[in-house]
């Protein structure tokens, strides 16, 4: 067998939440390129239809399950088993913010903080439970966190805190599920100009400035994240669990969230 063959996922079925557009769509299409059938979830059916069309163009089957991910994971898992008879990989990609205003933590209403935890962290916890209860030994769970969860994140504190919690959730799940050979890992993207990224931060005019703070001098793309997730989902990473891969063009956990505020030397 060639080393390239270990990146194939032929005959497997993967769930990707938040796959209507952006990073989730990139992950879904990467899986389809590797021979995997994909179950797609998002709130907007029209977005899911576009992602599903891309999966089918790549020769794979797609199932769309529209709905808010909160308290919805069990339904997605049941629909997956009913349609395909198996569930091998689960990607908790849903995330972001229903609140489109940035503010300091001390100015954040309690209900906004709770909402962020429910959307980003609680949903991943529920997804992991649904996945582990329905996948065979040797399955894979991947959480999509954020570089913001690895450092202080002024003005987006609730989001960053929830993503930091997701990284720790991964560490615990990896240890607890190792006896079943279920691998659990995290991918933390750096700045990627998705619709959600622009809506929350309102920085469309500053994309070049953000790119200038990245060592590789460009923003990321959904394909960059799709490639990393494919590695972690495939047999190529069969000895990798409990890890967080920061895919951020050379930024580290010590990099300031969006730069530009450091004093010039």
Asked whether residue 241 is domain-assigned, the answer is yes
- Give 221 or 193, the one with higher predicted confidence: 221
pLDDT digits 0-9 by tens, 38-68: 999 999 999 999 999 999 999 999 999 999 9
Average pLDDT value for residue range 118-124: 97
d(CA 147, CA 95): 13
Structure-token pair, residue 152: 């202080």
The CATH number of the domain holding residue 110 is 3.40.50.720
How much is the pLDDT for 201? 58
- State residue 260's pLDDT score: 38
Q: What phi-psi label fits residue 182: left (phi over 0), alpha (psi between -120 and 50 degrees) or beta?
A: beta
Q: Is residue 28 part of a domain?
A: yes
DSSP notation for 70-104: TTTHHHHHHHHHHHHS---EEEE-----S----B-
**Which ranges of the chain does DSSP label H, i.e. alpha helix?**
22-33, 45-57, 73-84, 110-116, 123-134, 157-177, 195-201, 207-211, 222-233
Question: Which pLDDT belongs to residue 1?
Answer: 85
Is position 96 within any domain? yes
Q: What is the pLDDT of residue 254?
A: 66
The answer to whether 201 touches 207, Cβ cutoff 8 Å, is: no
The distance of Cα 139 from the centroid of its chain, to the nearest Å, equals 17
Q: Where residue 216 falls among pLDDT bands split at 50, 70, 90?
A: very high
Q: What's the confidence (pLDDT) of residue 167? A: 98
Confidence check: pLDDT of 198 > 80: no
Mean pLDDT along residues 185-194: 92
Mean pLDDT rounded to a whole number for the chain: 92
Which residues belong to the active site? 159
Tell me the C-alpha distance between 203 and 233, whole Å. Answer: 33
Render the burial of 156-179: b for 16+ CB within 10 Å, e for the rest: bbbbbbbbbbbbebbbebbeebee
pLDDT digits (tens, 9 = 90+) for 63-111: 999 999 999 999 999 999 999 999 999 999 998 877 778 899 999 999 9
Listed residue (234, 239, 237) closest to 12, CA to CA: 234
Name the β-bridge partners of 183.
140
User: Residue 153: inside a domain, yes or no?
Assistant: yes
Provide the domain count of the chain. 1
pLDDT of res. 98:
77
Structural domain including 136 reads 3-192+221-245
Q: Tell me whether residue 94 is in a domain.
A: yes
Q: 265: pLDDT confidence band, cut at 50, 70 and 90?
A: very low
| Average pLDDT value for residue range 109-116 | 95
């Amino acid at each position: 067998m060639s080393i390239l063959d270990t990146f194939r996922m032929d005959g497997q079925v993967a769930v990707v939440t938040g796959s209507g557009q952006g990073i989730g769509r990139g992950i879904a299409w990467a899986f389809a390129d590797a021979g995997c059938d994909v179950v797609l979830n998002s709130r907007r059916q029209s977005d899911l239809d576009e992602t599903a069309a891309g999966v089918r163009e790549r020769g794979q089957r797609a199932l769309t399950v529209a709905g808010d991910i909160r308290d919805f994971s069990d339904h997605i898992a049941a629909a997956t088993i009913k349609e395909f008879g198996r569930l091998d990989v689960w990607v908790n990609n849903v995330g972001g913010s229903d609140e489109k205003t940035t503010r300091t933590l001390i100015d954040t209403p309690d209900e906004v903080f709770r909402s962020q935890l429910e959307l980003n962290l609680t949903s991943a916890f529920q997804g992991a439970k649904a996945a582990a209860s329905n996948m065979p030994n040797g399955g894979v769970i991947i959480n999509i966190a954020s570089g913001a969860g690895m450092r202080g994140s002024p003005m987006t504190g609730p989001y960053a805190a929830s993503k930091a919690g997701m990284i720790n959730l991964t560490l615990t799940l990896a240890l607890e599920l190792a006896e079943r050979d279920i691998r659990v890992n995290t991918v933390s993207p750096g700045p990627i100009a998705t619709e959600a990224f622009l809506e929350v931060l309102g920085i469309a005019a500053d994309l070049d400035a953000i790119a200038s703070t990245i060592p590789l001098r460009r923003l990321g793309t959904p394909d960059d994240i799709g490639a990393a997730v494919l590695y972690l989902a495939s047999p190529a990473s069969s000895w990798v669990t409990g890890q967080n891969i920061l895919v951020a063009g050379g930024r580290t956990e010590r990099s300031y969230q969006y730069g530009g505020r450091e004093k010039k030397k």
